[in-house]
Amino acid sequence: MRSLFFLAAFLLAGCQTAPVTGRSQFILVDEADVASLSAAEFSKMRKLPADPRLPKLREIGLKIVAAARRDDKEGVLPPASRWEFAVIDDKSPNAFAMPGGKIGFHTGMFAFAPTDADLAVILGHEVAHVICRHGAERVSQAVGVAMAAAVADEATKNSSAKTRSAWMAAVGVGAHYGVLLPFSRGHESEADRLGLLFMARAGYDPAAAPAFWTRFGQAGAKPPEFLSTHPSDETRVRQLRSWLPEARAQMPKRP
Ligand SMILES: [Zn+2]
């Protein structure tokens, strides 16, 4: 019975709000824990540190991060010096963000992003995943399910060792799959909207976003990060167009 009270306490502690949209979030895990698990995964990836496109990626990425700070009420975004941008030796057209500020850009993605504004579209979207703590939220969902099972188990058998092992299993699942699980449709839309604001504030025309996604959709490119749960291309482009006035209003004024 006592464990039910613990569960209730955790659920209350887990309620947070996403920036800008104000959506309620269920976050049980410590952002720092997810960040260190992510760093371990990131260190194993095939990076190309001498790729000539990397400095540009970092430059635009850090501009986006600076533009995002206005919405970082909880201090989720690491300082500029802690961000890591990497070109990943992988022909699939994909990019990803990990908690703690690790951003990976596959070599196969560059063909779809010939301009700085295109890079800003993708980097804006990825930085938005970080500031919204989508990684921690995904892991929390897995931990929450396992906890509920463990609590049910304990209620019948009163076995604290089992509760612990279920916890560990859930955290282990998070370590291997959680950080790279495809995000939900809701997460993708949230990252699209915030990404649009961030790129506009950094001085890039947000109209590049619906144009990028239209091209991407027409090419039939379906990278894992945007896999089955991603909004359909038409929905995504329609939503992005509807958010353009909000984003344009935040563009720096020309002298
Ligand atoms: Zn995404």
pLDDT tens-place string over residues 137-180: 877 777 666 666 666 556 555 556 665 565 555 544 433 444 44
**230 alpha carbon – ligand 1 mean position (Å):** 8
| CA–CA dist 191, 184 (Å, integer) | 11
pLDDT of the residue at 30: 76
**125 alpha carbon – ligand 1 mean position (Å):** 6
**242 alpha carbon – ligand 1 mean position (Å):** 19
pTM > 0.85:
no
Residue 126 bears catalytic tag: yes
pLDDT bracket for residue 31 (50, 70, 90): confident
Predicted confidence (pLDDT) at residue 1 exceeds the cutoff of 50: no
Cβ(18)–Cβ(25) below 8 Å: yes
pLDDT of the residue at 62: 97
Catalytic residue, chosen from 126, 154, 190, 225, is 126
Query: What confidence tens digit (pLDDT) does each residue in 102-133 have?
Result: 999 999 999 999 999 999 999 999 999 999 98
Domain that holds residue 51: 1-255
pLDDT of the residue at 227: 44
Q: Please count the structural domains in the chain.
A: 1
pLDDT of the residue at 126: 93
Minimum mean pLDDT range among 78-87, 165-174, 181-190, 212-221: 165-174
Q: Which residues contact 154 (CB under 8 A, 6 or more apart)?
A: 3, 160, 162, 163
Q: Look-up: residue for tokens 């804006």?
A: 124
- In which element (H, E) is residue 95 found? strand 95-98
**168 alpha carbon – ligand 1 mean position (Å):** 27
- What DSSP line would sit under 235-249, residue for residue? HHHHHHHHHHHHHHT
pLDDT of the residue at 186: 83
